[in-house]
Chain A
Amino acid sequence: MDGKQEIYDSMKGHNVHISYTGVFDGQILSVIAKNIEYSLSQDPIVNKKMFKVFLELAQNISYYSDEKLAVNKHEESGVGTITIQEFKNHFVFATGNIISKVDTEKIERKCKKINSLTREDLRKFKREQRKLPAGAKGGGNIGLIQVALTSENPIDYKLIPLEDGKHFYIIATKVDKF
């Protein structure tokens, strides 16, 4: 696959509760987050986890997608895609967006590190990163660590090369139902 539309299309699947492709601005994120918080699962603990995982993954796209659009003449927000699928024992969150050549290596290193750490070490890593200077809009550095902590599952990631050294960055993470 080399075109981003093909990749977006390939991310659609069965048992999809929510699927959104477009600009990730705050208003849209708020609406989707509220739906997740109150409607996806019967278990409020699972719903809260999904609400938190969604917001962190969605904010990553909003801040760091290399493809950006302005909404209502406001500041630009990132463009990308998210799907939430339900399986027997878990939900899967998958996001995709384009990232710059510069970010690719950094992101791959970070995902590998997160997946190699125990929960205690992840918490320590989060505390260390939180002390570093903030990224865009005060974000950066700890969103993905929080996703791993909240979901209590590793982060599956894939980097698909596009033209100009850019990559299509896919993350998938599970939230268990129990």
Chain B
Amino acid sequence: MEDIVIKGSHKDYFIPSVNFNSQTGICELGGESFLEDTVEFYNPIISWLTEFTENVKKPLAFIIKLTYFNTSTSRCILDILNVLKDYEEAGGEVVINWHYDENDIDMEEDIEDYMIDTGLDINLIAFSNGTE
């Protein structure tokens, strides 16, 4: 299956960077997410993950480095995490690392809320002053 590589941009709207690699199983989502049509952007990403978990079935590392996402995106992230949860329940190996600014209390609470919603273990990785 083809990898997904999307370069993030800030021109019109805020397009997140996406780097999903089917060989390594490392999938990164970073930058800022505020899109003209959130569902249209994330649907192929969710489909890719579903295909990976159903056909490739390798260990999967999901790395989130989003510094901002709007509430529409937050629904799509929940959909992504639910795919990962289903994979884990079906015997797949999943690691989720979520990098966030240590001063961003909202983000930390968001990650905790996703853990409550999905039952997934998410590794919280705090960084300071915009650097890791």
User: Is B one of A's binding partners?
Assistant: yes
| Interchain pairs with CB closer than 8 A, number | 76
For residue A56, CB closer than 8 A to chain B, the reply is yes
User: Is B14 in contact with A30, judged by CB distance below 8 angstroms?
Assistant: yes
Q: How far is the CA of A126 from the CA of B10 in the complex (A)?
A: 27
For residue A134, CB closer than 8 A to chain B, the reply is yes
Contacting residues, chain A, for B104 (C-beta < 8 A): 45, 48
- Cβ contacts A to B, 11 pairs, < 8 Å: A30-B12, A30-B34, A33-B34, A44-B103, A59-B71, A137-B39, A139-B70, A146-B71, A146-B106, A149-B106, A149-B109
Smallest Cβ distance from B86 to chain A, in angstroms? Answer: 16
Q: How far is the CA of A177 from the CA of B68 in the complex (A)?
A: 20
User: Is A26 in contact with B74, judged by CB distance below 8 angstroms?
Assistant: no
**0/1 string, A112-148, CB within 8 A of B gives 1:** 0000000000010011001100100111011100100
Q: How large is the interface on B (under 10, 10 to 19, 20 to 34, 35 or more residues)?
A: 20 to 34
By beta carbon, the residue of chain A nearest B41 is: A138
Q: How far is the CA of A126 from the CA of B74 in the complex (A)?
A: 11
Mark A residues whose CB is within 8 Å of B.
Answer: 26-27, 29-30, 33-34, 44-45, 48-49, 51-52, 55-56, 59, 123, 126-127, 130-131, 134, 137-139, 141-143, 146, 149-150
